[in-house]
Copies of this chain bind each other. A is one copy, B any other.
Amino acid sequence: MASSIHDLARHLNISIGTVSRALNGRADVNADTRQRVLDAAKKLNYSPNQSGRSLRQGATHSIAFMLQPHPGDQQYGEPFFIPFLIGLQGRLAESGLDLTVVMGAPGDYQQERLRRVVETRRADAVVLAWTRREDERIDYLTETGFPFATLGRSRTGGKAYPSLDLDFEKAGADAVDRLVARGHRRIAAIRPSLDLNFGHLFLAGYRKALRRHGIEVDPALIADGFINEAGGYQVTPRVMLAKDRPTAIIYNNDAMALGGCKALAEMGIKPGQDMAVTVIVDTPLCRYFSPALTAFRPALEPMGRRLAEMLLASLPAFAGPEGPRIIREVWPLELIARDSD
């Protein structure tokens, strides 16, 4: 069916070794025979069997991205990644690497799936997202020495791996600054209840900024819930019960903000009018919601490209002459002012 390197060799009356060398552009092959090999390859529609190559070289030439839907979050969490993935695959393709997204079922925190990818050597490296403060995936990968990079930081105990994250701390502080400048002093913060690292960072920035403005941090104004619409809907009433009601709410997440606005509406409170609402991570939904939600926007596609470069730099096979390097970066979020605050 599909032609192998043997067919090619037989057809040209030449040894398979020479064919392989010609195809792979090695120096020790006559320019003339190389051309003949290339022509024949095109004619016979030959392309090398990936399993064969991988087996021999011990490399798959593909990078795995672990995509992990959150439970009940089928709609929101992942669109976020598409532009990122476009950037990632674009850069990887330039280095001859494929990007394969390995899907998991919602819920299981992909530890098992990750093991499979690593142990069966389906990829040369993996890219992780939704990093947690304590992330067993990172522990596992560093232990086994399998190459990886993360979108998002973690609380790493001195482990070194390429990572690119957004400056959620600064965004949290910026959000507070902006609200204070507009006269607010009772500012609530709502974030996901999971151990997701960006939730912690956001809250740290929020706290720091409040203190800087001489505003006491009121625990009654801080809450967390499921990272989806239902979570925002459930948890918003809680901060509204504070004896001194908030006049502004910062949501860490678009889905939670949407659920929160629904809860506010049911209390007769109009976002952008009776209540300032800010979202940390912008998505298309923020833009089209009514009122349009003020949000902080990441540059997802460039981030994808950049993380690919960082990962490549850490791989011996792709690193420059100076050898592998580990890079970590934190990128800013851009404020997009809209109508909700």
Contact = CB atoms under 8 A, between A and B. Distances in A.
Contact of A74 (B60, B82, B122, B288): B82
A82 to B, nearest CB: 5
Given A50-B122, A288-B258, A83 B75 contact: yes
A284 B145 CA distance: 40
What class of interface size applies to chain A in its complex with B? 35 or more
> Which secondary structure dominates where chain A touches chain B?
mixed
B78 A105 contact: no
A93 B75 contact: no
A119 B2 contact: yes
A86 interface: yes
A48 interface: yes
Interface in A42-70: 45, 47-52, 54-55, 60, 62, 67, 69
A93 B145 CA distance: 27
Copies of this subunit: 2
A113 B79 CA distance: 22
Interface string A88-127: 1110010000111111111000000000100111100000
A2 B289 contact: no
A309 interface: no
A102 B93 contact: no
A258 B287 CA distance: 11
Q: Which of A52, A76, A86, A99 has the most CB of B within 10 A?
A: A86
Contacts of A52: 51, 55
Contacts of A2: 119, 121
Interface of A: 1-2, 45, 47-52, 54-55, 60, 62, 67, 69, 74-76, 78-79, 82-83, 85-86, 88-90, 93, 98-106, 116, 119-122, 145, 258, 283-285, 288-290, 301
